Amino acid sequence: MAELKVGVLASGRGSNLEALITRARGYRVVAAVSDRAGSLALERAKNHGCAAVHIDPAAFSGREAYETAVADALAGFGAELVCLAGYMRLVGKVLLERFSGRVLNIHPALLPAFPGLHGQRQALEYGVRFSGCTVHFVDGDMDTGPIILQAVVPVLGDDTEETLSDRILAQEHRIYPEAVALYAQARLTLEGRRVRIG
C-alpha cells in the first residue's frame, strides 16, 4: 500500500512536527508549512530533508485568500492529510472544505477540559489530579472535534507549568504519530462524534 502523504502546519517550536517525521509508520511527512518566518519548526523540517515553506498571512487580503494559498501549497506537495502541530491559528472553512475530514490536531489537555491556549496552565490552576493530551479531528470550532486518542499523565504536587508541560509533551510525541498511523491504515471510522478504531 502506498504511504499516506501528510502535510503539517506549525507555528513555533515544532517538536510534534519532528515526532511525526521521525516516528512515521505507514505515512510520510511531505511538507511543513508555517505562518511564521524563521520558526524552529521549519528548521526541523529542513534538517530531516522535508520541504519547509513559510506562507505569510500578512501578504494576503484575508483569511480565505491566505488559506487558499496554504491549501494550494499542501495540495502541491500531494498532502492527503493535514496535521496541525502547534499551529496558532483557527482553521477556517477554506482549509476544512479542501481537506474535509482530513485535518487533525493535538491539544495539551484531556478534552473537552481546558480547550484553547495554555491547556497545561489551566489544568494546574484548576487543580485536577490528572491531565494529558488529545489527538482529534478538526471541525471548525476550537478543540471540539471527534477524539481519536488521549493519553493521561498525573499532575504532581510540586509541578510547575513547565514540568507538567514536559510530561504531557512526551505523551504528545507518542500518540500523535500513533493516531496518524491509524488514519493511514484506514482504521478510524466516525460514528456520530465517536471515533471507532478498527
Per CB under 6 A, residues contacting ligand GRF are: 10, 12-16, 85-86, 106-108, 169, 172
Closer to ligand GRF by CB, 151 or 169: give it: 169
In the complex, what is the shortest distance from the CB of residue 61 to ligand GRF, in angstroms, rounded to a whole number?
Answer: 27
Angstrom distance (rounded) from CA 20 to CA 15? 9
Q: Which three cell numbers stand for residue 49?
A: 530533508
Minimum Å gap between C-beta 173 and ligand GRF is 8
State the Rg of the chain over Cα. Answer: 16
- Phi/psi at 154 (nearest 5 deg)? -75, 150
CB of 198 to ligand GRF, least distance (A): 26
Is-catalytic flag, 107? yes
Cα separations in angstroms, 171 against 2, 38, 113, 187, 188: 28, 26, 17, 21, 20
Phi-psi region of 140 (alpha: psi -120 to 50; beta: other; left: phi over 0): left
Amino acid at 11: S
Catalytic residue among 48, 54, 107, 118: 107
In the complex with ligand GRF, which residue's Cβ is closer, 132 or 195?
Answer: 132
Q: Which is nearer to ligand GRF, 113 or 185 (CB)?
A: 113
> Cα–Cα–Cα angle for 45, 46, 51, nearest 5°?
80
Closer residue to ligand GRF in complex, CB, 102/167: 167
- Catalytic positions, written as ranges: 107
